[in-house]
């Protein structure tokens, strides 16, 4: 059968019908990965002349995520298999040709692998960088992490790290404790009565069929939709109320919203007391730094302290548990969100985290935010009150990132607000995915039997996944060659020199420019020949830095 032969007409019969020649259709469940929505699909195949081919891709109606819907890009997925112009075998650039000329010759897989090995043998492992769009996304980490460790490649440059994880998810995850990138939070639109969007036009209106389907159901169910957006975009046009906020000032809106929720007492006190660190006692040192009242064991907190509303005594709660209702020594307690004046713990004057939170938010009034956002103070106050009263309410977790410097802080604010109204793992709020729950259950079991983490980082729940990765790419001892990733090497050397450096260089491209130019040092060892600034920029922009051939050339052991 010709690859150019039209095939869509073959998909008209149902799965139980026979095709020409008596063959029957078969529907196979699968997942579309043309975007990070990962819609559930069913793939129809049919046999003709002894060859079984894909003839149709549809959404899977049995799955609640996208409910049988799929976008045009997903439906066109069969062309990934049958496009006549697709790459069908390895290609190697013809000797003497230049990049951009598109002059390649066909090669066998054995020849291709031999070619890759021969190129890799000419550079040191720590001079190689793994480049890719979703290379570091959790969806591919199961494959890319073992590859990097086997090949001793400590460098990854991938869009999710710089533009997705850091710019958005990290802020959310620092509050929720999850860390699974894209699929950790399922926004339960259809069960929400009130939905507030910010920096999120693309994920509903342009990218995610799964989110658009569930958002459409929320509209049908009568949920009020409020959209913060400088322009009347696609999502704002579907909202009940469009708030034209000044670009880059959404964080001020949320600070004022938080200020109002706290002072109007429009929070779920029971949820916040039982399932957050809000009732934990804390104190400030002579430098104004806040410390939690906690017992430490091996550098980690084994217990925290709260004020029990039932007994009026300061009690300890376990450091690793999903509720504050049980004391460390046993017995039921009811942690107080507010502490009386004069309360002390081990000689320190203490307050609850919630008390300190209220104090810290004092200046962020709607009037303060109005001057920054160009949104009237009365509008900010009204939205906050509506949101706090309309349970269940949801501030969308969002996907948008890498555009404003404050985005990590804004995502933290949104997660805090969602937590304050008790909208975590509840209908109409943020639902943590099943995979996260399974991993958490396994981690809890391990903790109860003396082991904090078992297995590779990708199998750990929440921030344990992030910490596991940091312990690999940031740790020189994790590599046979003793060199961390170039971003960490750069940060270490900057700190030695007393210069500013990236706080979390795994989430940045810091050091990449210096590595390509041959200026990156680590423990006194410097690259050989350096590139000019123009050459370095051209390499980064046009060559993708697949092999950092001018990267630091530390001596082999």
430-445 residue pLDDT tens: 998 777 888 888 887 8
pLDDT digits (tens, 9 = 90+) for 205-251: 777 888 899 999 999 999 999 999 999 999 999 999 999 999 989 99
Report pTM.
0.83
Task: Kindly state the average pLDDT of the residues 455-475.
Answer: 82
Backbone angles phi, psi at 186, to 5 degrees: -100, 115
pLDDT of amino acid 247: 92
pLDDT of amino acid 18: 45
542, 197 Cβ separation under 8 angstroms: no
Task: Kindly state the average pLDDT of the residues 419-430.
Answer: 95
Q: Which residues, including other chains, have CB under 8 Å from residue 495's CB and lie 6 or more apart? A: 501
Domains, in order of start, for the chain: 8-82 (3.30.200.210), 123-181+452-557 (no CATH), 182-266+362-434 (3.40.228.10), 269-360 (no CATH)
Least confident of 157-166, 195-204, 278-287, 336-345: 157-166
Residue 338 has pLDDT above 80, yes or no: yes
Q: How far is CA 185 from CA 303, 321, 427, 513, in A?
A: 28, 21, 13, 34
pLDDT of amino acid 316: 96
pLDDT digits (tens, 9 = 90+) for 373-421: 999 999 999 999 999 999 999 999 877 666 777 888 899 999 999 999 9
CA distance 158 to 163: 9
Percent of the residues in the chain that have a pLDDT greater than 70, as a whole number: 84
pLDDT of amino acid 557: 26
483, 554 Cβ separation under 8 angstroms: yes
pLDDT of amino acid 185: 81
pLDDT of amino acid 164: 66
Residue 533 has pLDDT above 90, yes or no: no
Task: Kindly state the average pLDDT of the residues 28-42.
Answer: 86
Which range among 119-128, 152-161, 349-358, 540-549 has the greatest average pLDDT?
Answer: 349-358
280 DSSP assignment: B
Which range among 72-76, 207-211, 542-546 has the greatest average pLDDT?
Answer: 72-76
pLDDT of amino acid 467: 82
540, 147 Cβ separation under 8 angstroms: no
pLDDT of amino acid 542: 42
Residue 318 has pLDDT above 80, yes or no: yes
pLDDT of amino acid 4: 40
Which range among 109-123, 315-329, 368-382, 529-543 has the greatest average pLDDT?
Answer: 368-382
417, 430 Cβ separation under 8 angstroms: no
Average pLDDT, the chain: 83
């Amino acid at each position: 059968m010709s690859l150019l032969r039209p095939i869509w007409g073959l998909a008209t019969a149902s799965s139980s019908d026979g095709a020409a020649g008596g063959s029957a259709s078969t529907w196979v469940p699968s997942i579309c990965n043309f975007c990070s929505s990962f819609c559930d699909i069913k793939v129809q195949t049919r046999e003709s002349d002894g060859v079984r081919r894909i003839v149709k891709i549809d959404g899977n109606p049995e799955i609640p995520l996208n409910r049988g819907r799929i976008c045009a890009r997903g439906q066109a997925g069969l062309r990934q298999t049958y496009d006549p112009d697709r790459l069908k075998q390895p290609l190697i650039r013809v000797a003497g040709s230049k990049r951009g000329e598109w002059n390649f010759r066909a090669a066998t897989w054995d020849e291709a692998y031999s070619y890759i090995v021969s190129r890799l043998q000419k550079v040191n492992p720590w001079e190689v960088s793994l480049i890719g769009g979703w290379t570091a996304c959790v969806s591919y980490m199961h494959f890319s992490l073992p590859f990097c460790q086997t090949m001793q490649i400590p460098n990854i440059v991938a869009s999710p790290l710089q533009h997705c994880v850091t710019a958005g998810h990290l802020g959310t995850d620092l509050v929720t404790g999850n860390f699974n990138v894209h699929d950790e939070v399922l926004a339960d639109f259809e069960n929400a009565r009130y939905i507030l969007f910010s920096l999120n036009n693309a994920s509903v209106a342009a990218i995610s069929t799964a989110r658009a389907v569930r958002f459409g159901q929320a509209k049908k169910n009568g949920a009020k939709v409020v959209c913060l957006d400088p322009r009347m975009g696609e999502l704002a046009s579907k909202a009940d109320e469009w708030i034209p906020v000044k670009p880059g000032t959404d964080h001020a809106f949320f600070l004022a919203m938080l200020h109002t929720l706290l002072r109007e007492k429009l929070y779920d006190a029971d949820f916040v007391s039982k399932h957050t660190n809000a009732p934990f006692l804390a104190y400030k040192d002579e430098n104004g730094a806040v410390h939690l009242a906690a017992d430490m064991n091996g550098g980690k907190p084994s217990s925290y302290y709260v004020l029990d509303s039932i007994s009026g005594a300061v009690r300890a709660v376990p450091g690793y548990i999903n509720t504050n209702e049980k004391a460390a020594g046993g017995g039921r307690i009811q942690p107080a969100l507010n502490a009386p004046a004069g309360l002390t713990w081990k000689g320190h004057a203490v307050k609850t985290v919630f008390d300190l939170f209220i104090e810290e938010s004092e200046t962020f009034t709607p009037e303060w935010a109005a001057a920054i956002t160009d949104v009237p103070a009365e509008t900010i106050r009204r939205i906050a009150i509506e949101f706090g009263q309309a349970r269940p309410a949801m501030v969308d977790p969002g996907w948008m990132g890498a555009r404003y410097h404050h985005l990590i802080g804004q995502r933290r604010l949104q997660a805090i607000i969602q937590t304050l109204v008790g909208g975590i793992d509840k209908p109409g709020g943020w639902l943590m995915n099943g995979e996260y729950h399974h991993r958490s259950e396994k981690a809890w079991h391990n903790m109860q039997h003396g082991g904090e983490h078992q297995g590779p980082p990708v199998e750990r729940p929440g921030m344990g996944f992030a910490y596991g990765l940091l312990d690999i790419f940031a740790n020189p001892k994790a590599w046979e060659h003793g060199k961390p990733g170039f971003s960490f090497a750069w940060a270490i050397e900057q700190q030695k020199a007393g210069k500013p450096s990236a706080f979390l260089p795994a989430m940045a491209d810091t050091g990449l420019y210096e590595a390509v130019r041959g200026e990156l040092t680590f423990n006194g060892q410097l690259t050989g020949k350096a590139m000019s600034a123009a050459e370095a920029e051209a390499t980064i922009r046009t060559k993708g830095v697949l092999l950092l051939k001018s990267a630091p050339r530390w001596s082999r052991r």
